[in-house]
Every structure is written in C-alpha cells, then in structure tokens.
Chain A
Amino acid sequence: MVHIDRGPWREMVNHAQAAYPNECCGAMIGTIDGDNKTVSYALALDNVSAGSQRARYELRPEDLLRADKVARERKLDLIGIYHSHPDCGAYFSETDLKNSCPWYSFVVLSIQNGRFDHANSWLPNAEQTQAEKEELIWPES
C-alpha cells in the first residue's frame, strides 16, 4: 500500500497540472514498513524525453541518483516514481512496462483537460511482463 501525505500529494498534482498537456515525472521519498509505504516528500524531476512529451517521459539517471542522495540525507527511502498521463487513464502502459525498473512503485496521475482526475500505483514484476495494481491512498481519495 502506498500512502501519500498531503504536502507531497499537492506538489505532485500541481506538477502534473503545470506540465499539461505534457507528461511530468518525479521521485517519491518517504518510509517503508513492510508493504506499507508512506510518501512524505516529492521531488519534481525533468522529463528529458526527446520529441513530443505528450505521451512520453524519461528521467535522467543522474537525477535519480540525486533523488537517492536526498533520501539518504533525510534518512528516508526512495519509494518510487510518479508520472502523469494527460487526457487518458492512469493505466500502466506497454511503454511504461518496457521502460520501467521492476524495483519501485510507479504512481500514474491521470490529468483530464488540465485537471487531476484519478491516480493508480503499479508494481511491475521482475520480468517486466505485467504490473500489479497496489492500493494507493492520497488525501482526497
């Protein structure tokens, strides 16, 4: 289960809405207790995907390294990655599955006409052949 605190949730939604109609991406940092993950800090990262970013995102590994350093400095954990899907659902696409890393939770925010609509969290399997939906709780959910 992924629980996102009010502060980081607001930042994630604002980031996704500001990036619309493009996709945004960022890191989720917090604590992990067994299967319970609590996001207490969101770090907006650059979408560096070449070409149109309306249906694509890519993180710089250097930025992820920086996010991991931020987490370690705060004695927290890098829990996962968030990104947005403008004008479509918060599914985990074939593109997401093929290009993700099966270690982290992936939160997808659906942005419809520039406004947040819904979100899901996904856990890709080790073979990157399918992703399992995990319970996601945010302040207004």
Chain B
Amino acid sequence: MARILIPTPLRQFAEKNDSVELTGTTVGEVLGALTSRFPDLKKHLYNDEGKLRSFVNVYLNDEDIRYIGKEASPVKEADTLSIVPSIAGGAHRG
C-alpha cells in the first residue's frame, strides 16, 4: 500500500486524516482510490474535465510526477505521494 499525505486544509474532506494508505500500481490509481474513498476531495483536486487542477502538483517521494511519467508513474509499496500546490502572486494588479 502506498501512503498519500493530505495537506492540512483538505483533511476536513478526508475524515481528518493527515495521511492514508491506499492500493494502486500507478499514481493515477492511487489518486483514484483516494477520491473514491473521500469523494468530497475530488472537486478540490480535479477540474470539470477530470484533470488535476492547474495548481495541483503531485510528488512521488521527492519527484514531481510531471517529470517521471505523470499519472502513469508506477507506485511501489513503500512510496509516499504528496499533494503540493503551485503558489505565486504579487501586488501587480494585471
């Protein structure tokens, strides 16, 4: 079972768990298992087209999945997945 870490603000949609153990052979399967178990998480992670929201990054251990196979990245038993948002901004009004 892979472990997935839940960011603090999303724990309210995951029965207050800070991490959960889920089965899956790829990142996509583990994320699917996560949103099946906690359906309220889905809208926070995915857009209406079923794709990860633009600011949502997923790390497999310390690797950004965009650089190692995206959601098809294989997952092993001892792996840890992290959900990490992209954040930027600034005073510029445009």
Residues of A within 8 A of B (CB): 23, 25, 32, 49, 53, 55-59, 61-62, 64-65, 68, 71-72, 77-79, 81, 83, 85-86, 88, 91, 93-101, 103-104, 106, 126
Contacts and interface: CB of A to CB of B under 8 A. Distances in A.
B5 A64 contact: no
B44 A103 contact: yes
Nearest to A128: B55
A65 B87 CA distance: 12
B93 A95 contact: yes
B7 A68 contact: yes
Chain B: interface secondary structure?
A: mixed
A100 B87 contact: yes
Contacts, number: 99
B10 to A, nearest CB: 6
Contact of B55 (A57, A81, A101, A106): A101
Interface residues of B, number: 25
B39 to A, nearest CB: 15
A88 B9 contact: no
B84 A64 contact: yes
